[in-house]
Amino acid sequence: MSAVAPILALRKATKKYAGVPAIEDVDFDLLPGEVHAIVGENGAGKSTLTKVMAGVVNLTSGEMLVEGRSVNAQTPTEARELGIAMVFQETSLVPTMTVAQNLYLGQERFFNRLRGIYIAAQQFMQSLQFDVNPTAVVSKLGAAQKQMVEIARAVLHNAKVIIFDEPTASLTPEEKKYFFDLIANLKKRGVSVIFISHALEEALQVSDRITILRDGKHVVTDETRKFDRARIVQAMVGRDLSQTLYGQRKTSVRPQGKRVLSVQNLRMAAMVKNNSLSVFAGQITGVFGLVGSGRTETFKVVAGVAKRDFMHGGEVLLNGRPVRYFVPAAAVRDGIVYVTEERKIEGFFETQSIAGNIYLGLLAKLRGQRTLVSKSEAATVGERWIKRLNIRAISQDVKAIELSGGNQQKVVIAKSLVQEPELIIFDEPTRGVDVGAISEIHQLINRLADEGKAVVVISSYLPEVLSLSDRILVQRMGKVVEEFSALEATEEKIMYAAIH
Amino acid sequence: MIEALKQWTERVLGRGDAAISVPVLDGALKSNRLIEDAEVVAELEAPEDLVSDGSALFVADGARVLRFDGTAAPTVAHTFERTLSALACLPGGGLAIALAGREVRVVGGPHDGRRFDAADGKQLNAINALTAIANGRLLASDGSQAHPPERWKYDVMELGRSGRLIEFNLADGSARERAAGLAYAFGVGAVADDAAWVCESWRHRVVQVGGAQAGRVAQTGGASSGRAVVDGLPGYPSRIAPAAGGGWWLTCFTLRTQLVEFVLREPAFRKRMLKEIDPRYWIAPALTSGNTYLEPMQGAHLKTMGVVKPWAPPRSYGLVIRLDAQGLIRYSLHSRFDGKHHGIVAAVERDGWLYLLAKGPRRLLRLSIAAAQASLAAS
């Protein structure tokens, strides 16, 4: 393989933010028609590396070569002209436009016929086996469907190199299969694919070569067949985590305490249909379901983030008392917190400091009891939670946006836990989080249940559901259809219930 | 005025008391077939109650008390002139029995012949459970002041709130009301501090009356004395019996369904149904079902491709709940909709076995508690 000239190469690539290197002296080769996985912990420099290639950020020093020619792509448009397209972790679609309009954005003719682009978009989406309505407005789509549109747009641009940043994080197992087929098709057409994923199994499954980064530096690049999960993890974190993360099946479950939450015959538009479930103290209740099964919506209603049907919407009972929240603050005061799956949109204030974000969480709980905001209290609270959750940052005054995904997630969790909740709902708690942070977040979730809190973990990642939960609820088409004890559950049983 | 407006709004929007919802069978209430698979000890004629004195079981069967002492056939211990509605073994020997719900009588023991037919000036009407407590006293649940025990369906359909907890003093023959306004008192168990746990069937809960932590729980449509120790049950609780090692066995004679909950919120419909339809075919809780095509729920609601769906909304069901001493549900035993062992009204634990009285099929059942626990642990 090394005899073939790379289509894209980086030499001694270095990118510094305010003097701090995000990547340093990285050498990277992408061969024609290969699928190349880049893995590393959050903060390892994967996103920066790929953003350099896609023209989103520019190198501080070093060189980028496309087909052996030194280039300097200053903008994504220039990179696209060089045949490099990137599908971002957070979608870059225009939310107020339709799917078809987004697909053809920047390719419009002088006169546009909407019907024409809808038909073309429909045919194109069908060719990719993506079930997305081209006339739908993007803001109304779920995370998985947005991701599909993003992928489709890159494919549509006929790029020679397509970079996927966490493409499968929001996809269901079925959608993932389609996605992997799509990658295989792109490969056949000679397109080179760069693939960033925290799901190491996916990297092992779809890639030809793997590059591992750690702390902004290149650690190793080798053929995928020479890797296994343990070797990747060890290279990523410099220690062996494979046994602590998803490595062991549960041999016992926590006994259930009192029924903290009872959802009875809940209805919410077409998403939640007559859904009933309970959550008990001192246990982790795992909730699994495919995208669109109404898991997130059910618990958003519980936490006051969304509203159930105005008429005959069912009941939510907290400790036996019927509750109906119109805003999350009321739920927070009653001891319910929801740790969102969309942390960058709903989870924190990105321009606020770590301490500021955590303190805001406390203020939400204490609404009406504070007339003045205390900076010293914010600093104390921030310091306590940074230490408790092991948030890695130079100081508590660092802005949330400057943190890696794992540390941002810890800030979101700290912001919730500072409210001393009785019921904690984690929605995809480790999505887009590196393996080191995943392990820490899992330990934290287990600790909360051990302390007697009622914990809900909504996850699309089956090994996570199996390793964390004491009981597992499977949701399909808007309602819970099956319950398993962690002792009896297997991936096959859960998936069967989720699909059939 | 404000309350009336609130009720009207809730009714229109289907919220609050007008929300037609039922608790789900999940967690410790997850369904299984343990009652359905239980061994049949005896077929009975008209079983009502089941108790044990430690060495033998006594079953109130019609007007007879049957004694099961481990031998093959039961013996008739007593026969009375009227049907029995409740039974209790007294610590000093002898039995306390309730006759047609209207009279409590002591048979045998130091208080032999003692009779009660009223408490606080009110006639006993639907005594359905008895339990002996310290100092020669006896607690009784009087289900309803409006209907006798066999007409319990009328009481649920009329949203009866006239149940009482009564204490009889066997020594001096006095009787006093300890709680009133209960939504069908059905089952009583004695706890420490002179307190008692009473099942309120139509409010789907168990309340504590008396004792250090007693309080007053206000309910819409009436008030009852007591603190809810088990609330939001998915079924209609019946009797409660102590479990070995602490805690309780709580039986539920059937499950709640959305259809019945809906009917209970429709006074005009209920009124017509009570007037025009045979009680056997009411949309109401039942002890047995599936016997005739005239029953209200039929077709695809209950069957798919000719096979009865175990998860279908049941008219009748078999449910026994194991509670710990604080009222937390530890696990449960079930006979689902496709089963026959429905209408469980009493449970007694003895020598590692749990004996159950299934009023629907008129059977005395038993199952090994250790085997049931092992089965639940494996699932």
Q: Measure B52 CA to nearest chain A CA, in Å.
A: 31
Q: Nearest-CA residue of chain A relative to B16?
A: A322
Which band of pLDDT confidence, cut at 50, 70 and 90, is reported for residue B225? low
pLDDT at B216: 44
Which band of pLDDT confidence, cut at 50, 70 and 90, is reported for residue B221? very low
Between CA B202 and CA A67 the distance in angstroms is 79
What CATH superfamily is the domain B32-258+318-378? Answer: TolB, C-terminal domain (2.120.10.30)
pLDDT at A476: 86
DSSP, collapsed to helix, strand or coil, labels residue A226 as: helix
- For residues A374-406, b (16+ Cβ closer than 10 Å) or e, as one string? eeeebbebbeebbeebebbbeebebbbebbbbb
Q: Which residues of A are less than 8 Å from B15 in CB distance? A: 313, 324
Q: Do B19 and A314 touch (CB under 8 A)?
A: yes
User: What is the count of residue pairs from A and B with beta carbons less than 8 Å apart?
Assistant: 66
Q: How far apart are the first and last CA of chain A?
A: 44
Listed residue (B194, B164, B181, B44) closest to B104, CA to CA: B164
Between CA A423 and CA A333 the distance in angstroms is 11
Interface of A with B in 229-258 (CB under 8 A): 256-258
Q: Which residues of A are less than 8 Å from B229 in CB distance? A: none
pLDDT at A239: 55
Contact criterion met (CB below 8 Å) for B103 and B116: yes
Q: Dihedral through CA A475, CA A480, CA A485, CA A491, nearest 10?
A: -20
Between CA A370 and CA A361 the distance in angstroms is 13
Between CA B355 and CA B163 the distance in angstroms is 27
Q: Do B23 and A471 touch (CB under 8 A)?
A: no
Indicate which of B8, B21, B219, B255 best probes the interface with A, i.e. most A CBs within 10 Å of its own CB.
B21
Q: Do B19 and A471 touch (CB under 8 A)?
A: no
Q: Measure B113 CA to nearest chain A CA, in Å.
A: 45
Q: Where are the domains of chain A?
A: 8-237, 247-335+421-500, 347-419
Q: Indicate the average pLDDT of chain B.
A: 90
Mean pLDDT per block of 10 residues along chain A (500 residues) reads 78 81 89 91 80 88 90 83 79 86 80 81 83 86 76 81 80 74 82 84 89 88 88 72 60 89 90 92 92 88 92 90 91 92 82 88 80 85 86 79 82 91 93 78 92 93 87 91 89 78
Between CA B49 and CA B255 the distance in angstroms is 20
pLDDT at B140: 97
The secondary structure of chain B in percent helix, strand, coil, rounded to multiples of 5, reads 15, 40, 40
pLDDT at B175: 95
The more confidently predicted of residues B316 and B16 is B316
Look at strands A35-39 and A84-87 and give their pairing.
unpaired
Selecting from B13, B27, B377 the residue whose C-beta is nearest the C-beta of A256 gives B27
The answer to whether residue B254 scores a pLDDT higher than 90 is yes
Q: Do A310 and B13 touch (CB under 8 A)?
A: yes
Contact criterion met (CB below 8 Å) for B168 and B140: yes
Indicate which of B13, B17, B22, B24 best probes the interface with A, i.e. most A CBs within 10 Å of its own CB.
B24
Selecting from A262, A313, A471 the residue whose C-beta is nearest the C-beta of B23 gives A262
Q: Do A262 and B232 touch (CB under 8 A)?
A: yes
Architecture of domain A8-237: 3-Layer(aba) Sandwich (3.40)
Indicate whether this complex's ipTM tops 0.85: no
Between CA B327 and CA A166 the distance in angstroms is 48
Interface of B with A in 252-311 (CB under 8 A): 258
Q: Where are the domains of chain B?
A: 32-258+318-378
Between CA A412 and CA A417 the distance in angstroms is 9
Q: Nearest-CA residue of chain A relative to B232?
A: A320
Listed residue (B243, B193, B267) closest to B11, CA to CA: B267
pLDDT at A3: 65
Between CA A286 and CA A204 the distance in angstroms is 27
Question: If you ran DSSP here, which 8-state letter would residue A112 be given?
Answer: -
Residue A473 in contact with partner chain B when CB distance is under 8 A: yes
Q: Do B20 and A277 touch (CB under 8 A)?
A: no
Q: Do B26 and A483 touch (CB under 8 A)?
A: yes
Selecting from B24, B28, B228 the residue whose C-beta is nearest the C-beta of A276 gives B24
Q: Do B232 and A310 touch (CB under 8 A)?
A: no
The more confidently predicted of residues A236 and B249 is B249
The answer to whether residue B81 scores a pLDDT higher than 90 is yes
DSSP, collapsed to helix, strand or coil, labels residue B326 as: coil
Between CA A426 and CA A400 the distance in angstroms is 19
Between CA B46 and CA B361 the distance in angstroms is 10
pLDDT at A42: 63
Residue A259 in contact with partner chain B when CB distance is under 8 A: yes
Q: Measure A412 CA to nearest chain B CA, in Å.
A: 29
The answer to whether domain A8-237 and domain A247-335+421-500 are alike in fold is: yes
Give the pair of three-digit tokens for residue A232.
Answer: 């990747």
pLDDT at B222: 40
**Residue A253 burial (CB count, 10 A):** 15
Between CA A458 and CA A287 the distance in angstroms is 5
Question: If you ran DSSP here, which 8-state letter would residue A292 be given?
Answer: T
Which band of pLDDT confidence, cut at 50, 70 and 90, is reported for residue B242? very high
Q: How far apart are the first and last CA of chain B?
A: 52
Selecting from A258, A263, A473 the residue whose C-beta is nearest the C-beta of B328 gives A258
Q: Which residues of B are less than 8 Å from A322 in CB distance? A: 16, 19
Distances (CA, A) of A199 to A39, A168, A232: 9, 9, 11
Selecting from A311, A324, A471 the residue whose C-beta is nearest the C-beta of B27 gives A471
Options 3.40.640.10, 3.90.1150.10, 3.40.47.10, 3.40.50.300; CATH for A247-335+421-500 is 3.40.50.300
pLDDT at B226: 67
Q: Which residues of B are less than 8 Å from A473 in CB distance? A: 26
Listed residue (B77, B80, B210, B60) closest to B139, CA to CA: B210
pLDDT at B219: 40
pTM assigned to the model: 0.74
